[in-house]
Structure 1
């Protein structure tokens, strides 16, 4: 019997290059990225937009006020050379306007949207939108729910589109009242705000569950900024001007809290980091209140699939649109 010829050795595949440690001050370049930030003219949303613009990406600020949008764009351009930023008028409390606002984006795909815009009221009385919805619930949750439906074709056209939902630590201690989502019977501003953010976060987790079920290339990630204070936020005139002595007065709080520039870090990582996966929750490293972004366990009340399904159905009925209708 002739000898069996020796088999050539199986080549060893090259090692997968390790991802460098995440550095909030040295973000990866994203020249091809196209991102929308709702409420990008102020607060955390402004810093999300500024930090994304510094990567070379195209960043669109979705803003209700054209004047405030102009101020934010001027601030970003003064700090980021060659920044590719622009704005589109976007009023999340005006549900019928959202389809046209998405059409005004003028892009053929969207790599990520950061659902950041929000309303927080401190005092009664309860306020409603023109559609008769409680203002905080309408803006923070219903508006983003409906906006996602109109954005889904653009997100699906990207190689791996992402929906990044900016929640709030205030939602951690709240629970949804599915029988009174709009606080018609018992309105307390701070509680209603926390519940509106909880609804928004619940939607973000449920959205990813539905996207995975149909094999979509789009993913949904939920983040929160921890404790972000104006007094610890660097000045960005005319968007935010920190008063003299404000940082000194807030020094004790800085042990546990941070500025809004740092509150933006979890959302920016959720947009840019290829290791972030749908259905995850990201927040600050130190007690969930301050520090660099890290993945944290999804809060137990965000994993209630029965409550999430009921919220989705109620939101669909209130907005007359379904973000899942264009997923496939």
Structure 2
């Protein structure tokens, strides 16, 4: 078997470098202007689909679109303004998609702060939790009609293997703020949301599916250059060589999300991640266990998220 093929549950092969055509379909990638999200967008653009970058920063989004077009001749790519930390802006973001409908959304955008002081949004929510989890939760409410109108559409939520714990009594780290832990809590909340969303979609008889992925370990030093966003120096490339045994670049880290969007054998409620120890390699389904399988915790988190955002996404599917 070649290094680029992996067997899929349907019995065929999945080749990360020969993706199935997707002309006529529309995919939204939040945070698609940088990092792993950029490579998700670039790879999806290669299928002939229309790829929409949801981004706060119009200059960065323009640079990303220029880069995608230079690597994917004829790419259909455009941008919509998207600020997940500002719930009042999300309706306008969804309205900007209206003519196209929506076949899949990849919830990739994320904020990781390392400063010691806790920051809040205008609504008084902790910034990482508000952006990474609550923003995507609320955006789902606005995207629901577009996703429902498409055939077998997908919500793909990007988690992280840093996600180890959550405290429902201090979800937003108001009592004891530690930046890395607050980030990990926001990512675990996202993953629990993705699984709970799929349970609610099934209960509603919806054709929309919710899939959770994680990208594994991704380093800039192993990532191909995409100037002006990212330029890998020779020194970086050499320093990255030993780590290439254990980790991967952001181009490879995009594979799980891309497969979750495109592969018809992927099912709602599944978790996909890199094959080798969950940190590098081709994507494969992983067992959903531990906190991720705690349906009571996920349902309680859903209720808290609904109360904090004022919307219940599951009420708009069916």
Interval containing the TM-score (normalised by the shorter chain): over 0.9
Q: How does 1:1-328 map to 2 (within 5 A)?
A: 20-171=12-163, 174-328=164-318
For 1:53 and 1:252, the matched residues in 2 are separated by 31
> Could you tell me which residue of structure 1 aligns to residue 5 of structure 2?
none
Local SS of the residue matching 2:143: helix
**Offset at 1:247?**
1.6
Local SS of the residue matching 2:13: coil
Q: Mind listing any 5+ residue stretches in structure 2 that lack a counterpart?
A: 1-9
> Could you tell me which residue of structure 2 aligns to residue 9 of structure 1?
none
TM-score for both structures, normalised by structure 2: 0.96
Q: How many residues align?
A: 309
Local SS of the residue matching 2:47: coil
For 1:164 and 1:107, the matched residues in 2 are separated by 21
TM-score for both structures, normalised by structure 1: 0.93
Post-superposition Cα deviations, 1:229-260, rounded to whole Å, max 9, x if no partner, equal: 11111100112111331021122211110000
For 1:319 and 1:176, the matched residues in 2 are separated by 19
Contact 2:26 2:100 survives alignment (8 Å): no
Moved more, 294-303 or 187-196: 294-303
**Offset at 1:108?**
4.3
Moved over 6 A (4+): none
**Offset at 1:216?**
0.3
For 1:197 and 1:107, the matched residues in 2 are separated by 31
For 2:118 and 2:222, the matched residues in 1 are separated by 30
For 2:223 and 2:113, the matched residues in 1 are separated by 21
For 2:130 and 2:69, the matched residues in 1 are separated by 32
Q: Mind listing any 5+ residue stretches in structure 1 that lack a counterpart?
A: 1-17
For 1:136 and 1:244, the matched residues in 2 are separated by 34
Return the index of the structure with the highest Cα Rg. Answer: 1
For 1:104 and 1:289, the matched residues in 2 are separated by 35
> Could you tell me which residue of structure 1 aligns to residue 7 of structure 2?
none
> Could you tell me which residue of structure 1 aligns to residue 3 of structure 2?
none
Moved more, 259-268 or 249-258: 249-258
Post-superposition Cα deviations, 1:192-232, rounded to whole Å, max 9, x if no partner, equal: 11110000000000000000011100000000000011111
Q: Relative to structure 1, is the Cα distance of residues 106 and 153 closer, same or farther in structure 2, using a 3 angstrom cutoff?
A: closer
For 2:244 and 2:234, the matched residues in 1 are separated by 17
What is the alpha-carbon root mean square deviation over aligned residues?
1.0
